[in-house]
Amino acid sequence: MNYFSSDFKLGILGGGQLGKMLLYNTRKFDIYTCVLEASDDAPCKIACDEFHLGNLMDFDAVYNFGKQVDVLTIEIENVNVDALEALEKEGVKVYPASKTLRTIQNKAKQKLFYVDNDLPTAPFSRFAYLSEIEDAIKNGGLELPFVWKAAQFGYDGNGVKVVRKLSDLDGLPKGECIAENLVPFKNELAVIVARNASGDIKTYPVVEMEFHPEANQVEYVICPARIDETVAKKAQEVALNVSKAFNHVGLLAVEMFQTQNDEILINEVAPRPHNSGHQTIEASYTSQFEQHLRAILDLPLGRTDSKVGGVMVNLVGAEGYTGNVVYQNIENIMEMDGVTPHVYGKKQTRPFRKMGHVTIVNEDLSQARKVAEDVKKTIKVISK
């Protein structure tokens, strides 16, 4: 099929920053794009050919949108899977497939999938209601501490909490959830796997993620991870096995724990471009966004190795500020060597909201990490 400068239409469900960065690449290739999103001021609006307003969880909105495109992809998992399944039956190509999404959308199903496929993951218990967790603690069936995760619709630290005492459960959503053993890990790692419809497969280098202690959001992504080569190989192998089990098409970001004795345990996955791959725009031969397009359109996959060491810093709304966004000291960070800011185009900031990211590239990774810290201290996302 001719995708370039043609009447082919690519549909994207979701209009956030991941979609916007995907659209940089559709622009590069002159691929016609349609975006469905509920918010009229979404970052994607300025960059797509057609912008459709609609609720991603609404069957009719997703189904009617999907009927107008040739290939449908996502930039967020929270979409109506029944509509995707109906579209697949009618011949629309949907990547990732509805079956993959149905498993990944629910953390309990996702964890059971790992168990069923002999994939290494932290031990867990599944509960239909939050109250069952309290009962299990009281009767000795569950030990503190553990990690509580909402089964549905958790993302970016939402729907995840470390529970150290019974009162930590106060105020949490009452529905289906899992309690996962707290893993005393050395590192949090991630590997992005790309696979096209023909089955060609490539992995990006292992990255290391440093987290913000309160917000449970990634603060720094470091590529390559500062780990032993044997551990890196093991992490890539686990990621490939996960990809094989899902038989996915597109990108699959696999987040993992490196335990104290260097075992690799799967934390969770995302079947789309991911925060742990943003540094690929500046640091890799093929960015994760271009690679996602290549994979879902069944084009040859690009090189996944890095040209240079890269560190990514998330720009999130500063605490105590809500309203029209101001990027304080952005000119100061642009004076620093190897620094590229990405501003997502969200007009309103609030505490911990993802507003952008900054990539720092340097042949010397430790130097890149130092500059990343300077960037973090210098730039502030505040409001007028």
Q: Which residues are annotated as a binding site for ATP?
A: 107, 149, 180-183, 188, 267-268
Taking the alpha carbons of 23, 350, 52, 96 in that order, is the dihedral positive or negative?
Answer: positive
Q: CA–CA separation, 123 vs 115, rounded Å? A: 9
Closest CA to 272 of 107, 59, 84, 72: 72
Phi, psi of 124 (to 5 degrees): -155, 165
Residue type, 51: F
In this structure, the chain runs to a length of 384
> What are the tokens at 199?
């089955």
| Cβ proximity of 195 and 250 under 8 Å | yes
Q: DSSP letters of 43-93? A: GGGGTSSEEEE--TT-HHHHHHHHTT-SEEEESSS-S-HHHHHHHHHTT-E
Binding residues: 107, 149, 180-183, 188, 267-268
| Cβ proximity of 111 and 121 under 8 Å | yes
Pair type for strands 124-127 and 32-37: unpaired
Phi, psi of 281 (to 5 degrees): -60, -45
Residue 329 CB neighbours (<10 A) = 12
> What are the tokens at 361?
């590239």
The rounded Cα 90 to chain-centroid distance in angstroms is 29
> What are the tokens at 201?
């497969």
The rounded Cα 131 to chain-centroid distance in angstroms is 30
| Cβ proximity of 116 and 174 under 8 Å | no
Q: CA–CA separation, 235 vs 255, rounded Å? A: 10
Residue type, 2: N
Q: CA–CA separation, 152 vs 163, rounded Å? A: 18
Closest CA to 31 of 84, 69, 87: 69
